[in-house]
Amino acid sequence: MSLIVTGSVGIDTVETPDGQRADDVLGGSSIYFAAGASFFTKVRLVAAVGEDFPEHFQEQFQQFDVCTDGLEQREGSKTFRWHGRYHENMNDRDTLAVELNVLGEALPPVPDHYRDSKYVFLANTHPAGQMALLDQFPEAKLVVADTMDLWIETEKDLLTELLGKIDGFVLNDAEAKQLTGESNVVRAADKVLAMGPTFVIVKKGEHGAILRHKDGTGVLPAFPAHEVVDPTGAGDSFASGMMGYLTAADDISVASIKRAMAYGTVVASYTIEKFSTHRLSEIDREQIDARLETFGSHLDIGAGI
pLDDT in tens, 230-259: 999 999 999 999 999 999 999 999 999 999
How many residues in total does the chain contain? 305
pLDDT 10s digits, 59-78: 899 999 999 999 999 999 99
How many CB atoms are closer than 10 A to CB 205? 18
Residue 203 near residue 173, CB atoms below 8 Å: yes
Checking if the pLDDT of 265 tops 90, the result is: yes
Average pLDDT, integer, range 288-300: 84
Average pLDDT, integer, range 45-51: 98
pTM: 0.95
Tell me phi and psi for residue 131, to 5 degrees: -65, -40
Q: How confident is the model at residue 92 (pLDDT cuts 50, 70, 90)?
A: confident
Mean pLDDT, the chain, integer? 94
Q: How confident is the model at residue 305 (pLDDT cuts 50, 70, 90)?
A: very low
Based on the number of CB atoms within 10 Å of its own CB, is 293 exposed (0-12), middle (13-18) or buried (19 or more)? Answer: exposed
pLDDT 10s digits, 96-129: 999 999 999 999 999 999 999 999 999 999 999 9
CATH number for domain 2-296, candidates 3.30.1520.10, 3.40.1190.20, 1.10.3720.10, 3.40.50.720: 3.40.1190.20
pLDDT 10s digits, 154-183: 999 999 999 999 999 999 999 999 999 999
What residues form DSSP beta bridges with 4? 44, 120
Q: Where along the chain do its domains lie?
A: 2-296
| Sign of the torsion angle spanned by Cα atoms 63, 64, 66, 70 | negative
In this prediction, residue 303 carries a pLDDT of 46
Average pLDDT, integer, range 219-230: 92
Q: DSSP labels for 140-201?
A: -SEEEEE--HHHHHH-HHHHHHHHTT-SEEEEEHHHHHHHH--SSHHHHHHHHHTTS-SEEE
Checking if the pLDDT of 206 tops 90, the result is: no
* Stretch (H or E) spanning 72: strand 66-74
Tell me phi and psi for residue 5, to 5 degrees: -140, 140
Among the listed residues 70, 79, 66, the one whose alpha carbon sits nearest the alpha carbon of residue 47: 70
Q: How confident is the model at residue 284 (pLDDT cuts 50, 70, 90)?
A: very high
In this prediction, residue 304 carries a pLDDT of 46
Checking if the pLDDT of 223 tops 50, the result is: yes
Q: How confident is the model at residue 296 (pLDDT cuts 50, 70, 90)?
A: confident
Tell me phi and psi for residue 13, to 5 degrees: -125, 125
In this prediction, residue 181 carries a pLDDT of 97
Q: How confident is the model at residue 205 (pLDDT cuts 50, 70, 90)?
A: confident
Which are the contacts of 243, defined by CB distance < 8 A and separation ≥ 6? 3, 33, 37, 119, 121, 144, 260
User: Between vectors from CA 278 to CA 273 and to CA 280, what angle results, nearest 5°?
Assistant: 75
- Using DSSP, state whether 204 is helix, strand or coil: coil
- Using DSSP, state whether 192 is helix, strand or coil: helix
Q: How confident is the model at residue 226 (pLDDT cuts 50, 70, 90)?
A: confident
